[in-house]
Amino acid sequence: MIQQVATMKVLNILTMILWSGVLFAEPSVEATRVVSRTVDRQVNLPGEIFPFLSADLYAKVSGFVENVAVDRGSVVQAGQLLITLTAPEITAHLAEAKSKVKALISQKAEAQAKRLAAQSTADRLKAASETPGAVAGNELELAEKAVDAARASELAVADQVNAATGAVAALEELQSYLKVTAPFSGIITARSVHPGALAGPGNTQGTPLLRIEQISRLRLTVAVPEAIVGGLARGARVSFGVPAYPGQAFAGTISRVSHSLDTKTRTMPVELDVQNPELKLSPGMYSEVRWPVRRNVASLLVPPTSIVTTTERAFVIRLKNSVVEWVDVTRGAPVGDLVEVNGALNEGDTIVRRGTDELRVGAHVKAIFTSQ
């Protein structure tokens, strides 16, 4: 009987030891380590295509449209004649100004002849005056004054000729405005005038005669989010696609950066130059740009399951000497099967692979690393 009691006591003690080991053993959790590497990825951003050059063409002077040499879709070269206007009053004023110039030129020649004649007379009298008593002094003085008067008259007429010539040049320049030419090579994308219409000097409220756009070279404008503007590289080639040509890739070169963020969208406009020799692309097309994201510093990467998100915070569970710590983080972009995070983490830190807020701060756990 005594032996049985002793045996029971031993069994009870062993049972208590076993249960205490189970109760106080550290729970095991699947763990992984924080990875650090340079991220090189792409994000899809919307872009809008614009002509490289565009201009609304107006008449510089009032006149009637005589001829329109182009229409919507016409390919034109710089300096090519597009529209011819007619303005009879300008033609009449120009003819009158040219006639005035001819008349003044005749007057100038006559004045010059009179000056030469007066100068010749004065020279002869001066030569004769060297013989005492041959010429009266008053007569020589009158001859010299006649030369001065003839010279002044000639100069006055010359000034009138110059003024009249300038008026002719101004009217000829005005007449040249009756011919509307292409300011650069491009395509006529709009036409709103026909022969017989009255055209006048344009303004921002008026309707342009024509619209010309250069689309053999295009501008692709992309609104780049603030978070990735640090990786902009001028001169880098960027690919994009448009719905009009599904599956076909186009490319542009980063050429102009605004260096100013839109405070409403927190984006920075960036322009790419796109060569368009076959004219496949058109201004106004929507494009999806495969924007490269490159950073000069390495990013910290963790499995997405490691991030615990609550209504108050987002954190990962770090194990330091097997003790649970909650480290606040902000989630970044996905990189393969990992995700970028920003927070007080370091490369190689041990974290719980499948985080949960049930693991409280200060708890002791055992980390088990797996190959997955």
Q: What is the pLDDT of residues 314-357, one digit of tens each?
A: 999 999 988 889 999 998 878 888 988 888 999 999 999 998 88
Q: What is the pLDDT of residues 7-40, one digit of tens each?
A: 555 556 555 544 444 444 578 889 999 998 877 7
Cα-based distances in Å from 257 to 157, 223, 250, 266, 267: 60, 10, 20, 15, 12
- Cβ atoms 162, 170 nearer than 8 A: no
Report the topology of domain 298-369.
Answer: 2.40.420
Query: Distance between CA atoms of 114 and 165, rounded to whole angstroms?
Result: 23
CATH class (in words) of the domain with range 44-53+214-294: mainly beta
The stretch 148-177 carries a mean pLDDT of: 80
Give domain limits for the chain.
Answer: 44-53+214-294, 88-177, 298-369
Chain-centroid distance of CA 24 in Å reads: 67
- Cβ atoms 165, 171 nearer than 8 A: no
Q: What is the pLDDT of residues 49-103, one digit of tens each?
A: 999 999 999 988 888 999 999 999 999 999 999 999 988 888 787 788 777 778 8
Mean pLDDT of the chain: 83
Q: Which residue has the higher pLDDT, 145 or 181?
A: 181
